[in-house]
Structure 1
Amino acid sequence: MSTRIGLLYPTRDCGEDDFADLCHRLDPALSLDFAYVQWSVDRVEELDTAGKTAAVRELGAPDRLTTAADEFATPPDVVSWACSSCSFTRGLAGAHEQAGALAGRLGVPASSTSLAYLAALDRLGLGRVALASVYHPDLTDVFAAFLAEAGVTTVHAVSADAASDRALAAWDAWQITDLVVAADHDDAPAVLLPETALHTTPLLAELEDRLGKPVLTATAVTLWDALDRAGATPVRDGLGTLFASGPRHAVA
């Protein structure tokens, strides 16, 4: 029987097709279902930076997540809160609280994109990173602080300050690649690209070949971590270091 992955997602019709694409490439038999967490505001992009951060933090409230989790069409085998910013703005303890609430509600392993980053970095033995952030610099700093709580040092970061999830869902390969290249740093053995609205699956191998190091995208780490927690991590070459059958790029 195939693994049933349940993803909680913040904004409908943004990056769901990228998750589906990666699932299909990993294993066409994988089952993927989405449930949507409701925003308390209609147009997040019209808020100032402080307002956006507050809205993102509110969206990640554990009770909002558990309410949304009740909407899955079929009970999943594993669940993840597939949003980077909404899972790191409450800090490391808050991220674990989110996962714990979901596990308690559904009775299955639970995680989030931010916790998935930590799991992936641990698996690869990485403690220093560069951030290719789509966020405002203030929110980028919040993610760096989240990583620091877990002992991960950010040696360099760039911030695109994109307007919204929907704007990011429309980014093309050139925009994504330019951001990753700008974030790269000699002292960082990996680059993180924390945004689940971006369409990164077709670029996984290309980005790593361009930089010669792991490039961990939000979509890839979320699915890798979910499958790993379900005991079903697939090995597929051509989809980046996490899924490779052997060390694709040296890590340090």
Structure 2
Amino acid sequence: MTTPTIGFIYPDHAAEDDYPRAAASVGADLRVAHIYGTDLHAVPELLELGSPAKLREGVELLAVHEPAAIVWACTSGSFVYGPEGAREQVRELAEVAGVPASSTSFAFVHAARALGLETVAVAASYPDDVAALFVEFLAAHGIRVVSMTSAGIDTAAEVGTLAPAQVRRLAVDNDRPDAQALLIPDTAMHTVGVLPELEAALGKPVLTANQVTIWEGLRLVGGPPGPPVPELGTLFSDRRIHVSA
């Protein structure tokens, strides 16, 4: 079986090593291309980061790998456009790339649907105003957020320095018993290596940005070529890959 190549456009540098870490487990060729801009978690800067010109740069960098699908690996740089703007962002990305495309914001929506989630808690690293836009994005797609907390971290670079124990504390402290799952929406945060620990601590699914982004890329090419990958959490523990967009 041919190993699918999936391209990820990743902003700056923070937790991109989550992708090669997951690649061997999922049996896919995950290629990361970096685009650059400010790493501030602020609306004007995020709008610039997710602009068509920036994403075109990412597509051009990935072209040498001939990916079968491309994902914009940035949650805040997609949901900040709002539901319709984020959909147009993905449509334009697919048109430029000539392959199916998506973004981390839609990855969260599709992953939640695949798991049948209706209520979630959100533990965001962003400042409150940015985190609130993610809650609005989820609500627009029928996902009710019963609790939203924000760590108020201003830059992606700082998020990338969080140690596993800090990520665990963020999750444990901000879960809610009436939430079916906890969502942690920042691709700048290292989470791939701690997913089983997080889910064991909470006793429920945990969806994190790099995890769902990788899952979304696999969904776009028809699913993972190998067996389930429980070390990547409930989302990867069975074949919950086929969900309509």
**TM > 0.5 fold call:** yes
Structure-1 residue corresponding to 2:202: 211
- CA distance in 1 between counterparts of 2:207 and 2:74 reads 14
Within 5 Å, which residues of 2 pair with 1:1-252?
1-12=2-13, 14-27=14-27, 30-39=28-37, 41=38, 44-45=39-40, 52-72=42-62, 73-233=64-224, 234=226, 235-245=228-238
Secondary structure at 2:32's aligned position in 1?
Answer: strand
- CA distance in 1 between counterparts of 2:217 and 2:152 reads 28
- CA distance in 2 between counterparts of 1:219 and 1:111 reads 13
CA contact (8 A) 1:87 1:113 kept: yes
Q: How far is 1:112 from its partner?
A: 0.5
CA contact (8 A) 2:107 2:213 kept: yes
Secondary structure at 1:111's aligned position in 2?
Answer: strand
Q: Deviations over 1:151-186 (max 9, x none)?
A: 111100110011311111111011101111122001
- CA distance in 2 between counterparts of 1:59 and 1:245 reads 34
CA contact (8 A) 2:127 2:154 kept: no
TM-score between the two structures when normalised by the length of structure 2: 0.91
For 1:4, give the aligned amino acid: T
Q: How far is 1:196 from its partner?
A: 0.7
Q: How far is 1:23 from its partner?
A: 1.6
Q: Deviations over 1:43-99 (max 9, x none)?
A: x45xxx7xx221011211223212321111312111000001001000111111111
Q: How far is 1:242 from its partner?
A: 0.6
- CA distance in 1 between counterparts of 2:229 and 2:66 reads 26
- CA distance in 2 between counterparts of 1:141 and 1:219 reads 20
Q: How far is 1:100 from its partner?
A: 0.8
- CA distance in 2 between counterparts of 1:68 and 1:219 reads 17
Q: How far is 1:125 from its partner?
A: 1.0
Secondary structure at 1:92's aligned position in 2?
Answer: helix
Structure-1 residue corresponding to 2:243: none
Q: Which structure 1 residue ranges, 4+ long, deviate > 6 Å from structure 2?
A: none
TM-score between the two structures when normalised by the length of structure 1: 0.89
Percent identity, aligned pairs only, is: 38
- CA distance in 2 between counterparts of 1:154 and 1:86 reads 20
